[in-house]
Structure 1
């Protein structure tokens, strides 16, 4: 797949105008699993559609394999594919779960492609310290002795998610443990929606 046209100068000008016009969308949806706010897909697309006016730009989301891509096109014929989020289907492997995974991947892919701030910035703590909340890390006293460099550890899902998954009788706890918090949360949302809880 060709990832972009030979030149993208007109597309870049259009993106510059777009960025000037973009108003970040509201985080007014609530994650039912953790009770945290997020920007739903309809707010992402609404923000993009309002800011894209007069730029010569258009876009579509395209799943290719297990990755969601955003194709940004300019009326000059120039284009660019932006590789986005993986499409991860968890829980039940039915049409509803696949649709939910597509929506989730599309939201993150569009946000990436167009510079939408759809999640609260936690300074990488969610990815770096999956099993310890950032408050615990910040409150640790400094040690005067030389510390060992951090080891690359595999991503692990936090204990809270695992406890809730066990309570809900999630069928594959071992696989869930290796997903990390963000993906495990999405899997558990899909699982609970599929169970009607």
Structure 2
């Protein structure tokens, strides 16, 4: 018997937003529990994100190294970015991020997996795409700034990424989930059985 996550919404008796930042905010809800008690729950409100596992013809994954201040580390990641516009089509956002961060385009797109990054304290939802038939974009590169100024790019065999994940050497959520999901897909029904790039995403509904 299969299992799956289901929609649910417990009553919220009061809510406030004690902090509002540039892209995210913090919300405090008073939530009624099944026994009738009411407790406070603080969480980060996030617009959502997309990430791209770009796979080349040699079975290598495009990754980049970027400084992440909250964890004080340079992490190897896959291209990713925020859904900056409410209702934005996630595929369009993913294509934009792949171009801006790696100067690459792809002809074949699939949904690899959808995840909530930290559902106990943040409502961020991430859609991870698989991009194939990749090639460099002609013309000048997108002008980067801030942490992206120090980015390194590399193409790494999928098996090497999985080894690094299991050895505790790679920690970025999207890279870990993406690499392991791709490995599972290859061992299962194959990549053509993945959901189409425009598959519904209830966590972040979008316009076609």
Q: How would you bin the TM-score normalised by the shorter chain?
A: under 0.3
Which structure is higher in strand share? Answer: 2
The two structures have a TM-score, normalised by structure 1, of 0.25
The two structures have a TM-score, normalised by structure 2, of 0.24
Larger radius of gyration: 1
Which structure is higher in helix share? Answer: 1
Bigger relative contact order, structure 1 or 2 (CA pairs below 8 A, ≥6 apart):
2
